[in-house]
Amino acid sequence: MSDEVIKNIIVREDEDYIINMGPQHPSTHGVLRLEVCLNGETVNYLTPHIGYIHRSIEKMCESDTYKQIIHLSDRMDYLSSHMNNEAICLAVENALEVEVPLRVKYIRVALDELSRIASHHLWWSAFGMDLGALTAFFYGMRDREKILAIFEESFGSRLLHSFNTPGGLMHDVHPNFQKHIMEFVHYFRKKLPEYKQLLTDNVIFHNRTKGIGNMTRETAIAFGVTGPSGRGSGFSCDVRKTAPYGLYDEIKFNEILHDKGDSFARYLVRMEEMEESLNILEYVADNIPEGDFTAKMKPIVKLPEGEYFQRVETARGELSVYIVSDGKKFPYRIKFRSPNFSNLFVLNTLAKGGLIADLVAISGSLDLVIPDIDR
Interacting residue ranges for other proteins, rule: CB under 8 A: 17, 19, 25-27, 38, 41, 128-135, 137-139, 142, 198-199, 202, 204-205, 207-208, 355-360
Q: Which amino acid type is present at position 40?
A: G
Assess contact for 262 and 209: CB atoms under 8 A: yes
Task: Considering the complex, state which of residue 36 and residue 321 has its C-beta at the smaller distance from other proteins.
Answer: 36
Nearest distance in Å: CB 368, other proteins: 14
Task: Considering the complex, state which of residue 38 and residue 170 has its C-beta at the smaller distance from other proteins.
Answer: 38
CA distance 136 to 116: 18
DSSP state of 228: H
Task: Considering the complex, state which of residue 132 and residue 156 has its C-beta at the smaller distance from other proteins.
Answer: 132
Nearest distance in Å: CB 24, other proteins: 9
Nearest distance in Å: CB 180, other proteins: 21
Tell me whether residue 263 is exposed, middle or buried, using C-beta atoms within 10 angstroms of its C-beta: 0 to 12, 13 to 18, 19 or more. Answer: buried
By 3-state DSSP, what share of the chain in percent is helix, strand and coil, each rounded to 5? 50, 15, 35
The torsion angles phi and psi of 107, rounded to 5 degrees, stand at -65, -35
Angle between helical axes of 66-73 and 81-96 (0-180°, round to 10): 160
Nearest distance in Å: CB 26, other proteins: 5
Q: Which amino acid type is present at position 141?
A: M
Nearest distance in Å: CB 198, other proteins: 7
Nearest distance in Å: CB 361, other proteins: 8
The torsion angles phi and psi of 323, rounded to 5 degrees, stand at -115, 130
Task: Considering the complex, state which of residue 129 and residue 334 has its C-beta at the smaller distance from other proteins.
Answer: 129
Q: How far is CA 214 from CA 4, 262, 340, 365, in A?
A: 15, 4, 18, 11
Task: Considering the complex, state which of residue 139 and residue 345 has its C-beta at the smaller distance from other proteins.
Answer: 139
Task: Considering the complex, state which of residue 321 and residue 360 has its C-beta at the smaller distance from other proteins.
Answer: 360
